Structure 1
Amino acid sequence: MTHFTCISRIALASALAVVGQSAASAQELAMLEVPAADMQPTEDDGIIVTGTRVAGMTAAESAAPIKVLGAEMLEHVGQPNLNQVLTQLVPSFTAQAFGGDTANLTLSARLRGLSPNHTLVLINGKRRHGTSNLAVLGGPYQGAATADLDLISPSSIKRIEVLEDGAAAQYGSDAIAGVINIILKDDAEGASGYATAGEHYNTGGRTYAGTVNLGTKLGEDGFLNVTVFHRFHDFTQVGGLDRNVTDTDGNLRTTLTAAQRALYANIPGFPYVNRINGDARSHLTNAQYNMQYDLGPAQFYSFGTYSRRIASAYENLRRPDRIIRSAVLGTAGVLGAPGTTIFDPDGDNPPNGFSPREKIRENDYAVTAGLRTELAGFRTDLSATYGEDKNQIYTIDTANASLYIDTGVTPTQFYDGFFRASELTYNADFSRGFDVGMAAPLNIAFGYEHRRNRYQIGAGDPTSYYKEGAQSFPGFRPSDAATNSRNNEAVYLDVAASPVEGLKLDAAARYEHYSDFGGTTNYKGTARYDFSDMFALRGTVATGFRAPTLAESYYSATNVSPTAAIVQLPANSAAAKILGFDNLQPEKSTNFSVGTVIRPMSRLTVTIDAYQVRIRDRILGTGTLYSAGGSRNFPLVRDAVVANGNVLDPTVTQTGISVFANGATTRTRGVDIVASYMTDLGDAGRINWTLAGNYNKTKAIRIDSGPVLTDTTGTSAAVPLFNASTIANLESASPLVKVVGSAFYTVGPFSATLRETVYGKSSSLASPDGGTFYKQTIGTAAITDIELNYKITKAIELSAGANNLFDKRPGTVALVPGTTNFTLVNGGNVLDAPLTFSPYGINGGYYYARINFAF
């Protein structure tokens, strides 16, 4: 049966515009609210489209906090990556520093310390599809399958509107933490672009990027704007002492045999032999277009994106004696025994081991087409959007150990299968203002949305999953392969009124029905009252929800290291039911916010917004439930693995499963503060000052019990759904405080940006065995960014700068206290591995030069 709903694209959002009295001054302060009296709204100045159905509203008039980041501001951040741009400009935004396995190939980000899946990404106001590459392994970004911001070039963007408020009643699923609406450039003439090169101080990562943006008219009544971008980013290497090879000083371990020592000393790069910690190497090409044509009574519009990414990331070193076969096929050999053969992919003598890489070939595209017109006095917008992301997965420079032992041969490159995620959305939106004698027209908006999502895993080549599969990443088995889909329909209603001068009210409701778990209704109310031009209060109350992604519900694979093999069971599978897990259900949220806008003097604006977000039935990755090698082992876990069709590596010491599950209630409280001021120095130039800060604290206020299982000692009890590490990733892995202060100085052809970002302390818990947990802490850090620009002509500008000027790094993973065998608290292999939950990255300083042009 078809179900409808009542949503609201509420007049929530915006408060911040951008200080500015000139286009130049807007560059650094485009994120800040300015007095309405100081703004002359035009189509390109101050008008927002996020969080409101009222036509012509500016950021300064909004009832909810919204940061508006202008194009010039985005282009004056050194690293050509939208995740990095936003983390340097928005205090509540944090980018992922490092991802495990294939997640390192598509890094994610999050807003207000919540899951990446809690932030909805829009392009020109239309929902953006998510990546198909699920972040599976534990950490603050686990479960991320949201839109990949790296696939949108900063040079294609006119502005970004960041709504920092719950908005599920406006836009539907995912908008619990907020909304990032990316508005593409719409220039009808001109050309602009840049070429840039940079590198990290001593960890590698050489980067080259170039982009061109072109605008042209389509006849007399239309425009076409196109952007093409390409970037190459090389590997970085942070750390690399392998505890199975060396001690903490980089000397060969004394416990190695003479035969091992002879082999291990020849591993390339000795003693820094393990390259897993660092950025992936990637080649990324993005293309975006934005067009519109005026047909008279209607406007046809279309926009789209295409991306092609080829990337690979190093995994843990496999030592030279990792794979040895005997003279008898099907029998593993022993180092030094007569008739044994060591797997040697390079034909070296002696063999020197190998470093597997996980690789993707990704194609991502999206296209939207729509018609804006007026029907019976209602502004009408009819549109359709289709987006798809496909990742073909490979494991290269590796081997299938069992295949080599059983047959004497093995490929060194494996096709592991693919992920594909797609989303088809239809929207019909209507809005109209009615003059009913209030201070402003009563605005009524309503509409309908239909969305179909599809998620597919394709099986790899048989050699990639023969027995335990290829080293570092086994291919997807036929039992992993599946196609799953869902449909949902929604209707919404939004009413915005201004009963008296200075008072703005907005109420919205949305009903959605999903084919796999039913319906949900959400509401939102917001208000703002301007007591004077100098002072206003605003606040919001809302409910929200997030539907589990299809990837969270159905992803299935085996994740391996040299010592462990852990199966990710699909949450909605029969195998998970063996262990007592239920199908995933939507998360539910309640949001409250209250804030103020203060303009105590000319050119100074201060906004303060406090918020609380409570999320019930939160979806998290369980800790590992072990069948062998853990602090507690459960025979039923192995039964579930067998039922799912997975085969585990018999040589590893730890085996188990993990699964995504509803089971926690969390509460996030915080405060956003933004202040802006412009100093006019006359002939000596001008300085735009900004100070923006975020305090954010998440607490798990309830953790549900897990299924009752019997361990190998015969003890039966409900196992904890989430271990201490999972809870720490929620509560403390993001800094409590982040403050960004910046000054943008211009005089004649010269300009300079100085930005200081202070990250508060953050911490996590790690365990080598799932039983004992150890705290890891990253202290408070101040990160300095600087950029100098000089216009040598009206069209050409030279720039040079540094992100993280003083090469600040997080600490390294500790050894288990009191141990003498170099056991790491996280069970990893790299003795000098960085703390990868670092909010400011693991690679240290990045230094760059750029040439900009605009005609």
Structure 2
Amino acid sequence: MPSRPIAQPLLLASLIATVVVPAFAQQAADGELQSVVVTGTYAKNRRTIDSESPVDIIGARELQASGSTELATVLGRLLPSMNFPRPSGADASDAVRPAQLRGLSPDQTLVLVNGKRRHTSAVVNVNGTQGRGSAPVDLNAIPLSAIDHIEVLRDGAAAQYGSDAIAGVINIILKKGANGGEVEVGFGEYQERDGKQKTLRGSTGFSLGDDGWVRVAIEAADRDPTNRAGADFRTPTEPRYGRVNQRFGDPETKPRTLFVNSQYRINDNVDWYAFANYGRRETEAAATWRTSGRTPLFPEGFLPLENSTSTDATLVTGLRGEVSGWRWDASLNYGQNEFKLDLDNTANLDLGANSPTHFYAGKLSNKQALFNFDVAREFPVEAFSGPLTVALGVEARHEKYEIGAGDLASYSGTGAQGFSGFRPINAGSNSRHNESIYGNLEAEITKQFSASAALRHERYSDFGSTTSAKGSARYAFNDKVSLRGTASSGFRAPSLAQQFYTITTTNFSVVNGVNTPIETGTFAVGSAAAAALGATPLKAEKARNYSLGLQLQPTRDWTASIDAYRIDIDDRVALSANMTLSPVLRNTLAAQGILVGAGRYFTNAIDTRTTGVDIVSTYRWDLASAGRYDFTAAYNHNKNTLEHVNANPAVLSANGLTLIDRQTINRLTVGSPKDKFSLATDWTLGAWNARGVVTRYGSFTVPQNSAALDQVYDPQWVLDLSAGVKLSKNWRLSVGIDNVTDRYPDQVTSLGNLNNNGINPYSGFAPNGFNGRYYYAKAGYSW
């Protein structure tokens, strides 16, 4: 599908409307300057304007101001430093898509719900997508209907929260209270008459006597697939020559989610709280079209379908209160994700006409259980203008990762086409535990100067101990100008999935211009097979974060901040190259009973540096009879560079192989957009409101192992418009168009047949996807 020229009048109008007054900004909610934040601080009543680290607050209005009902998609549009591409044909990564903050690995961002650590997905992204090798939190398992607001800490915070908080922290705050409720139905469709989406969501509260409440949120959606594949002109003798055989786009998904949040006052000093969720998402994604003549079951060829079921469950409960001036919080936290995969419309070619066409390929499961106990208290210090906040805490965490085998037909021989099932040799359960102790000091030393320090020590049962520290400070020159800065060390523990995920499956590589299948083994790093290829045990990633920010508040209605940052990460955990094995190594693995033509494993082989700048602010213009305008602009520039690569293992060098290839390195450094810039205007007048956002997604590169095959993608401008009206006290209606000008990213070059003879015309690295214009309407009732 060709890229359409942008509608210049629409774009120009949006730009003029946005920058006619001074603003370099993010969307402001009512009273945002006085908003109290809880992320990254233990102090009471810490406001965003006083924060020593940059914190964005995203309200429910912003979250629901687009046509998407996926949290990761919405955040990818609202946060200038977040990247959420939409890969296709990437097996489980089609169903659980990873999001990046500041161009780093998806699992280097910590996700909290109500301040408590969220469990990660069981899916490991092992194909050639952004986030390859990661197993992050599935943001799309959290429904928008349950969210009150989100706090995004754009700073390293491992000294405060532990593993994963290298790029930043996303803290999702749930709706609370017994009062009020809402229900909303929505419908949308793409310009190409596909991808229809029907959504039902709602939230309401109930009283628990006079001292408590429970809040319930539900969401259900049916999303049809999209398809932007080109016609198949590869082989004139094929029965389906010239037809669209492939499915390339968004998968079909059917999420169903329930969230419950509650609190009850036991007495004047103790509250009980709990929140829980259960969610189930069914996804149907397509593998690569198989041509005719492979099996008598499909004489014209066939398209394997990967039908997955991802189930998430969480229960967090605890007590909090105050005694002798100490605030305390004790909680238990359990979360799990289970990912089951079935295959349909496919065959095991080794079984011929006797092959089934449905296979159970196995399951992945990830579980975590935590105990936290935190205390905090303010102490008056005569020399300080404000109290000294002292916070202490302990945490114990247990994790368990399991792989379950599929049925025999799914993995015997070459296995089911599309995805060879998990074998009994892959199956197993592995666990670990860790304990941590931490402390935090925060104080307003003078009216102009505040500072804080944090220290955290953790001991893991599988790789030992680590200590992280953080210091931060803020100095206000006056009411209009202040300077803030942070310096911290951090870490990320290699996940159990990265240590123990193992499977043999069919990958496709371009050989002499032809997509060629090759049996590829992903080996657990501690296995004999990985050792034969030079693997060594994984260790924790080590990070050093630095930031320096300028805060400006020229007027009551205009704020701006400029934050520069640098993140150095040593020993990054990465999935190695797909190494096509020499005869010697194939024989070595065959002696272990492993028959593959290629192999890979996880390794700590790369050091990187990330540098960048965020510019955010807001300007509000109230014209009374003409309405109120909130002008928005946000900018992120981000650069990832390679600092060091470990020496290639001797056994690989002796066999002409490279553990970390050019593509692996450049996927980390240039695969995500180097910048993103958005301009927006929100208008409100009585019952009416409207919003316009124009976003520029910066240039990125899809790397190959041959530099001649690299493709640099041009920046892409996208315009989103929406409008709403309150029909009565309770009823509201909104309509909108995402990607008004129907913009598509550059098409994949035919050089080296990277577009599979035109069948796959777009790149899964594209930050705004490749579905085109989207129309939607929503109707809501609130009370």
Provide the TM-score with structure 2 as the length reference: 0.93
1:825 and 2:754 correspond: yes
Per-residue deviation, 1:710? 6.2
Per-residue deviation, 1:402? 0.4
Amino acid at match of 1:313: A
1:369 and 2:324 correspond: no
Residues in 1 aligned to 2:585 and 2:674: alpha-carbon distance in whole angstroms: 40
Q: How large is the RMSD of aligned CA atoms in angstroms?
A: 1.9
Match 1:311 to one of 268, 272, 283: 283
1:454 match: secondary structure: strand
Per-residue deviation, 1:31? 4.8
Q: Cα–Cα, structure 1 residues 634 and 89, in superposed 2: closer, same or farther, change >3 Å?
A: farther
2:423 match: secondary structure: coil
- 1:278-327 C-alpha deviation (Å, 9 max, x unpaired): 1111110011011000111200000011101111101111112123xxxx
Report the equivalent of 2:684.
746
Per-residue deviation, 1:571? 1.9
Q: Cα–Cα, structure 1 residues 539 and 31, in superposed 2: closer, same or farther, change >3 Å?
A: farther
- 1:757-787 C-alpha deviation (Å, 9 max, x unpaired): 11111112135xxx67511121011110110
Amino acid at match of 1:523: A
Amino acid at match of 1:625: M
Per-residue deviation, 1:810? 1.4
Per-residue deviation, 1:716? 5.0
Per-residue deviation, 1:475? 0.8
Report the equivalent of 1:661.
603
Report the equivalent of 2:736.
801
Per-residue deviation, 1:392? 1.2
Report the equivalent of 1:8.
none
Residues in 2 aligned to 1:176 and 1:280: alpha-carbon distance in whole angstroms: 31
2:93 match: secondary structure: helix
Alignment map for 1:662-677 (pairs within 5 Å) = 662-677=604-619
1:430 and 2:370 correspond: no
Residues in 2 aligned to 1:730 and 1:468: alpha-carbon distance in whole angstroms: 32
Alignment map for 1:503-514 (pairs within 5 Å) = 503-514=449-460
Residues in 1 aligned to 2:447 and 2:767: alpha-carbon distance in whole angstroms: 44
For the 8 Å contact 1:554–1:571, the answer to whether it is kept is yes
Per-residue deviation, 1:56? 1.5
Amino acid at match of 1:387: G
For the 8 Å contact 1:754–1:784, the answer to whether it is kept is yes
Report the equivalent of 1:454.
400
Report the equivalent of 1:382.
330
Residues in 2 aligned to 1:549 and 1:784: alpha-carbon distance in whole angstroms: 38
Match 2:487 to one of 526, 534, 541: 541
Match 2:585 to one of 628, 636, 639: 636
Per-residue deviation, 1:30? 7.4
Match 1:814 to one of 749, 769, 774: 749
Pick the structure with greater CA Rg. 1
For the 8 Å contact 1:236–1:843, the answer to whether it is kept is yes
1:138 match: secondary structure: coil
Per-residue deviation, 1:639? 2.7
Q: Which runs of 4+ in 1 moved over 3 A?
A: 28-34, 38-41, 645-648, 828-832
For the 8 Å contact 1:184–1:290, the answer to whether it is kept is yes
Residues in 2 aligned to 1:831 and 1:635: alpha-carbon distance in whole angstroms: 36
Per-residue deviation, 1:218? 1.0
For the 8 Å contact 2:26–2:634, the answer to whether it is kept is no
Per-residue deviation, 1:832? 4.0
For the 8 Å contact 1:724–1:773, the answer to whether it is kept is no
Provide the TM-score with structure 1 as the length reference: 0.85
Q: Cα–Cα, structure 1 residues 638 and 417, in superposed 2: closer, same or farther, change >3 Å?
A: farther
Match 1:228 to one of 209, 218, 221: 218
Report the equivalent of 2:410.
464
- 1:720-777 C-alpha deviation (Å, 9 max, x unpaired): 332111122111111111011110001121110000111111112135xxx6751112
Match 2:543 to one of 566, 576, 589: 589
Percent of pairs with identical residues: 36
Residues in 2 aligned to 1:703 and 1:226: alpha-carbon distance in whole angstroms: 50
Residues in 1 aligned to 2:25 and 2:258: alpha-carbon distance in whole angstroms: 28
Match 2:359 to one of 407, 414, 431: 414
Report the equivalent of 1:491.
437
Report the equivalent of 2:60.
71
Alignment map for 1:254-269 (pairs within 5 Å) = 256=236, 260-261=237-238, 263-265=239-241
- 1:602-651 C-alpha deviation (Å, 9 max, x unpaired): 31111000000000001112111102xxxxx45314533663x5445xxx
For the 8 Å contact 1:391–1:419, the answer to whether it is kept is yes
Alignment map for 1:674-753 (pairs within 5 Å) = 674-709=616-651, 719-753=657-691
Per-residue deviation, 1:833? 2.6
- 1:21-43 C-alpha deviation (Å, 9 max, x unpaired): xxxxxxx9875599xxx7785xx
Report the equivalent of 1:839.
767
For the 8 Å contact 1:536–1:597, the answer to whether it is kept is yes
For the 8 Å contact 2:369–2:399, the answer to whether it is kept is yes
Residues in 1 aligned to 2:594 and 2:91: alpha-carbon distance in whole angstroms: 18
For the 8 Å contact 1:587–1:615, the answer to whether it is kept is yes
Per-residue deviation, 1:657? 1.2
Residues in 1 aligned to 2:587 and 2:160: alpha-carbon distance in whole angstroms: 45
Residues in 2 aligned to 1:31 and 1:181: alpha-carbon distance in whole angstroms: 18
Match 2:470 to one of 524, 534, 538: 524
Q: Cα–Cα, structure 1 residues 237 and 40, in superposed 2: closer, same or farther, change >3 Å?
A: closer
Alignment map for 1:315-394 (pairs within 5 Å) = 315-323=287-295, 342-344=296-298, 351-394=299-342
For the 8 Å contact 1:567–1:641, the answer to whether it is kept is no
2:160 match: secondary structure: helix
Residues in 2 aligned to 1:199 and 1:191: alpha-carbon distance in whole angstroms: 27
1:133 match: secondary structure: coil
Amino acid at match of 2:361: D
For the 8 Å contact 2:551–2:559, the answer to whether it is kept is yes
Residues in 1 aligned to 2:69 and 2:174: alpha-carbon distance in whole angstroms: 17
Per-residue deviation, 1:563? 2.1
Match 2:557 to one of 585, 598, 603: 603
Residues in 2 aligned to 1:187 and 1:808: alpha-carbon distance in whole angstroms: 42
For the 8 Å contact 1:625–1:634, the answer to whether it is kept is no
- 1:236-263 C-alpha deviation (Å, 9 max, x unpaired): 1112334xxx15xxxxx4xx5xxx34x3
Q: Cα–Cα, structure 1 residues 197 and 641, in superposed 2: closer, same or farther, change >3 Å?
A: farther
- 1:478-500 C-alpha deviation (Å, 9 max, x unpaired): 11001011100000010112221
For the 8 Å contact 2:27–2:631, the answer to whether it is kept is no
Alignment map for 1:170-319 (pairs within 5 Å) = 170-202=160-192, 204-242=194-232, 246-247=233-234, 253=235, 256=236, 260-261=237-238, 263-265=239-241, 270-275=242-247, 277-296=248-267, 297-319=269-291
Residues in 2 aligned to 1:728 and 1:634: alpha-carbon distance in whole angstroms: 29
Report the equivalent of 2:138.
148
Report the equivalent of 2:95.
105
Amino acid at match of 2:133: G
For the 8 Å contact 1:750–1:791, the answer to whether it is kept is yes
Q: Cα–Cα, structure 1 residues 86 and 641, in superposed 2: closer, same or farther, change >3 Å?
A: farther
Q: Cα–Cα, structure 1 residues 445 and 174, in superposed 2: closer, same or farther, change >3 Å?
A: same
Question: In the comparison of the two structures, how many residue pairs are matched?
Answer: 749
Q: Which consecutive residues of structure 2, in runs of 5 or more, have no partner in the other structure?
A: 1-23, 509-515
Residues in 1 aligned to 2:567 and 2:470: alpha-carbon distance in whole angstroms: 13
For the 8 Å contact 2:33–2:49, the answer to whether it is kept is no
Q: Which consecutive residues of structure 1, in runs of 5 or more, have no partner in the other structure?
A: 1-27, 248-252, 324-341, 345-350, 628-632, 649-654, 817-822
Q: Cα–Cα, structure 1 residues 128 and 724, in superposed 2: closer, same or farther, change >3 Å?
A: same
Residues in 2 aligned to 1:96 and 1:615: alpha-carbon distance in whole angstroms: 23
Residues in 1 aligned to 2:591 and 2:349: alpha-carbon distance in whole angstroms: 20
Report the equivalent of 2:500.
554
- 1:20-70 C-alpha deviation (Å, 9 max, x unpaired): xxxxxxxx9875599xxx7785xxxx1111000101211121111000011
Report the equivalent of 1:24.
none
Q: Cα–Cα, structure 1 residues 364 and 39, in superposed 2: closer, same or farther, change >3 Å?
A: closer
Residues in 2 aligned to 1:812 and 1:635: alpha-carbon distance in whole angstroms: 40
Match 2:421 to one of 455, 467, 475: 475
